[in-house]
Structure 1
Amino acid sequence: MFGRLRAWGRRHRAVVDLVTIAPLVLFCLAAVPEYVDNPLSASSARPGVPGAVALSVMLLGLLVWRRNHPRAVFAGVAGISLVQWLAGIEPLPANLAVLVGMYGVAARCRVEWAIAAGVVAEFGTYLALRAWNDLTLEVFLNASVFVLAIWIGGIYTNVRQRYVQGLEERAERAERERDQQALIATAAERARIARELHDVVAHNVSVIVVQADGAGYAIDNDPEQARRAVQAISATGRQALTEMRRLVGVLRDDTAVTEDYQPQPGLGQLEELVRQVRESGLPVDMTVEGDLSGLPEGEQLVIYRIVQEALTNTLKHGGPRARADVRVEAGGREIVIRVVDDGRGAAALVSEGGHGLIGMRERVTMYGGTMDASPRTGGGFLVVARLPAGLREGAA
């Protein structure tokens, strides 16, 4: 509620300024008859009710623009008050507009302007006390303390506003840098994913070439073997086509150094991965349920990388007594990868930017899945990824 009010106030600053000075306007106008009937000094001229009202409206009306033009407003009310004093007209309650204008200068202008406004307001106080024939040292000191308190309030508001503005600028800059870092990390991760998928497709094409050569040699002497080779070519070609569709739209880092071809890890290497993590000092329990046979190599790579990245994060951030549990479940329509730990480094993982989390999410999204990664209540971190199960070779 208060946030909406502040936002509305930023959009309608003139209305807010008018509302804030409304009590002062009502007070000053209501005091005009009392002021005219009971003058404070017999030596000062009295403008009468119409003149006092007109003068009050002039002084208070300028305050509407005090936010956008604080120096001009202060100069206006101070100039009107000086002309009023030179004309011998007794000060009005509306002359308090000088103090309001001084506060606006102190709150929104540089310190030299704030000092100048304070000096002018103090001099105006001296002139007002002289016009009222009430210029004693005690009264002048009390009035000066009042003026100084308003001036210090304006200076504090100025410092506070600059401090908040600096915080907002730093927050915006940090947000822009964070977004840029996320974009850079996403681009780098997509390039790495593209290279890995390229290796998978290259492997499938190599299989097709070998099977085609074998079918060519066996077509005359062993037609059955040639038929099986052609069937293998058909299945491998469909799988390669599926991987190529996923590769479209992913930017490949053409400037990267070409890496030597190495078979990409899959489900068969999960046990080895878990063994290596256990040897690194992290107790890990792994459970694989359901039929995972027939998954494309690219999807197997996604599962492997998710488990690898989640366990790596646990090793880095979980602490010395952390434990992890890996569960891969193949249901009727989806494959669920769940990695959970009870470590104490969830906050550190989130605060570091989470480039590994970005990479995992990119991999899962590429295969039409979803991923959730968040700290657990009571400690630890949970990663849950869901991949469609309709991409098996058998289903195809």
Structure 2
Amino acid sequence: MITEPRPPLLRRLPPGVWVAAFWTTLVVFRCFTRDRELEHLFNYQGNPEDMALLVTAVVTTLVATFLVRLPLVAIAVALAGGLYTLGMWKVQEAAPLQFLIAITVVGYCAATRPRRDSLTALALPMGTIAALYLWGLVTRYGANPWVYLGYGAVTAIAWLVGNTVHQSRAHAEALRGRATEQAVTAERLRIARELHDMVAHSIGIIAIQAGMGRRVMDTQPAETRIALDAIETTSRETLAGLRRMLGALRQAEAEAAPLEVAPGLAELDRLVAGTAGAGVRVALTRDGEARPLPPEVDLAAYRIVQEAVTNVVKHSGTRDCHVTVQYGPRDLALSIVDLGGGSSAAPGTGYGLAGMRERVALLHGEFSAGPRPEGGFRVAARLPYPAEELAL
């Protein structure tokens, strides 16, 4: 069972506790000062006009307490505080602060809450402003339309800003989700290609060796033993490769993946030897000066040669194949030619050719595969070196 560590104690305290602590500290500090000018703000003696600061402290504390879980309640509390101070005719200047707090919470709701909640949050102060304006008209207490229009405009702007933040966040999350989905799909295809290239070659060799051993079992026991030895060697190597791949997939970090999971052109000689055991002679030619290749290019080149040779073994009906590896100054060229009269595979069919084409496309290279005019089948690929490798 995986348990997440608890955050520090100070981070677990709700925002309302911090606001209450601020006001308590301020009151205590003022009580111990000799400045008597603001003393009436802290000493309530029954006069409602002396409670402006107390109402502000209570409102901000309650708003901070309800803000995250019950933002609509926080707006209602701020509006109630504004209406209460608005009735104190000597300190009516404190009322705009309460309304400003409510408007700020409206912007917060629009940025963090669903559309229905944000519209409800917008309706609360808008309804209050409209009610105050109508009440002023009825009672003739005072109904300056520009004041109420200004409050309504500020509220609408706060909601629009919050809604813009909400839409931007939703768009960013959608892009991240799409990128994650694409990454998962790409990784799934990569694993599928690796498994296909690893298993298809080995199973093809095993099938051919098993068929040959079955045919000569009674007449040539020595050839049968050779075939069984080849089957055992190939199956053990395939099993070891699969274990290494599964071990790499279980690693928590990609950097910890074993290097043996990614074979390269250095193992072509062993591939040629294994193919010879299946009855197909592979002539390997290396042109140019060999150089260390980037892991992705080295792996792709090996898998392309492996899959092309596997197709020759399974489909061509010939016993000869020519593989050319050419190290150029800017790219690596591969050519696998079937010297027989048959066809290694129909272009565009099966997963082998599709996998080779995908590998080359991922490296921004060139790939071609098809029958030759003089007979046989040819697979060619050109893999460019990365820009950083050319810089070296």
TM-score, scaled relative to structure 2: 0.47
